[in-house]
Amino acid sequence: MVIRRVGPLSCAKVVAALYMIVGLVAGALISLGSMAGGLASDVPWMAGLGAAIGIAAIIALPLVYGCIGFVAALIGAWLYNAAAGIMGGIEVDLQ
Protein backbone atom coordinates (compact mmCIF):
# COMPACT_ATOMS: atom_id res chain seq x y z
CA MET A 1 0.00 0.00 0.00
CA VAL A 2 1.36 3.42 -0.96
CA ILE A 3 0.14 6.74 0.45
CA ARG A 4 -0.01 8.90 -2.66
CA ARG A 5 -2.09 11.80 -1.36
CA VAL A 6 -3.13 13.35 1.93
CA GLY A 7 -6.25 15.50 2.21
CA PRO A 8 -4.80 18.89 3.22
CA LEU A 9 -7.95 20.22 4.87
CA SER A 10 -8.70 17.06 6.86
CA CYS A 11 -5.06 16.81 7.94
CA ALA A 12 -5.06 20.48 8.97
CA LYS A 13 -8.26 20.08 11.04
CA VAL A 14 -6.89 17.11 12.98
CA VAL A 15 -3.55 18.79 13.65
CA ALA A 16 -5.30 22.02 14.70
CA ALA A 17 -7.38 20.09 17.26
CA LEU A 18 -4.25 18.44 18.65
CA TYR A 19 -2.42 21.78 18.84
CA MET A 20 -5.41 23.31 20.66
CA ILE A 21 -5.13 20.61 23.34
CA VAL A 22 -1.42 21.36 23.68
CA GLY A 23 -2.25 25.08 23.88
CA LEU A 24 -4.81 24.45 26.62
CA VAL A 25 -2.24 22.55 28.69
CA ALA A 26 0.36 25.29 28.12
CA GLY A 27 -2.22 27.95 29.01
CA ALA A 28 -3.11 26.14 32.23
CA LEU A 29 0.55 25.92 33.24
CA ILE A 30 1.14 29.60 32.47
CA SER A 31 -2.05 30.44 34.35
CA LEU A 32 -0.88 28.61 37.45
CA GLY A 33 2.52 30.26 37.30
CA SER A 34 1.18 33.78 36.80
CA MET A 35 -1.40 33.44 39.56
CA ALA A 36 1.19 32.04 41.96
CA GLY A 37 3.55 34.89 41.09
CA GLY A 38 0.79 37.45 41.57
CA LEU A 39 -0.21 36.02 44.95
CA ALA A 40 3.41 35.90 46.12
CA SER A 41 3.89 39.61 45.44
CA ASP A 42 3.64 42.28 48.13
CA VAL A 43 1.86 44.63 45.73
CA PRO A 44 -1.93 44.20 46.11
CA TRP A 45 -2.88 44.71 42.45
CA MET A 46 -0.40 42.06 41.29
CA ALA A 47 -2.77 39.26 42.32
CA GLY A 48 -5.42 40.65 39.99
CA LEU A 49 -2.87 41.06 37.19
CA GLY A 50 -1.71 37.46 37.67
CA ALA A 51 -5.30 36.23 37.44
CA ALA A 52 -5.94 38.31 34.31
CA ILE A 53 -2.80 36.97 32.62
CA GLY A 54 -3.82 33.44 33.61
CA ILE A 55 -7.30 33.79 32.13
CA ALA A 56 -5.90 35.35 28.96
CA ALA A 57 -3.40 32.49 28.60
CA ILE A 58 -6.13 29.84 28.91
CA ILE A 59 -8.18 31.58 26.21
CA ALA A 60 -5.49 32.84 23.84
CA LEU A 61 -2.98 29.99 23.72
CA PRO A 62 -5.34 27.28 22.43
CA LEU A 63 -6.56 29.66 19.72
CA VAL A 64 -3.06 30.72 18.68
CA TYR A 65 -1.67 27.18 18.79
CA GLY A 66 -4.69 25.87 16.84
CA CYS A 67 -4.31 28.50 14.10
CA ILE A 68 -0.57 27.90 13.80
CA GLY A 69 -1.11 24.12 13.69
CA PHE A 70 -3.82 24.46 11.04
CA VAL A 71 -1.69 26.59 8.74
CA ALA A 72 1.45 24.48 9.27
CA ALA A 73 -0.39 21.19 8.58
CA LEU A 74 -2.12 22.66 5.53
CA ILE A 75 1.23 23.70 4.08
CA GLY A 76 2.83 20.40 5.12
CA ALA A 77 0.10 18.31 3.48
CA TRP A 78 0.34 20.38 0.31
CA LEU A 79 4.13 19.91 0.23
CA TYR A 80 3.71 16.17 0.85
CA ASN A 81 1.28 15.87 -2.04
CA ALA A 82 3.69 17.72 -4.31
CA ALA A 83 6.63 15.52 -3.26
CA ALA A 84 4.58 12.32 -3.45
CA GLY A 85 3.50 13.23 -6.97
CA ILE A 86 7.15 13.41 -7.99
CA MET A 87 8.59 10.54 -5.93
CA GLY A 88 5.64 8.18 -5.68
CA GLY A 89 4.57 8.46 -2.03
CA ILE A 90 5.32 6.52 1.14
CA GLU A 91 5.10 2.74 1.14
CA VAL A 92 3.18 1.34 4.13
CA ASP A 93 2.91 -2.34 5.05
CA LEU A 94 -0.35 -3.18 6.87
CA GLN A 95 -1.61 -6.44 8.35
Distance, CA of 18 to CA of 6 (rounded, Å): 18
Global confidence as pTM: 0.80
pLDDT at residue number 41: 78
CA pair distance 1, 38, nearest whole angstrom: 56
Residue bearing the bigger pLDDT, 82 or 49: 82
Question: Does 11 score more than 90 pLDDT?
Answer: yes
Confidence label for 8 from pLDDT (cuts 50, 70 and 90): very high
Instruction: Please state, in angstroms and as integers, the Cα–Cα distance from residue 86 to each residue in 7, 65, 74, 77, following that order.
Output: 17, 31, 19, 14
List the single range of 7-11, 41-45, 67-71 with lowest mean pLDDT: 41-45
Q: 4: closest CA among 86, 95, 94? A: 86
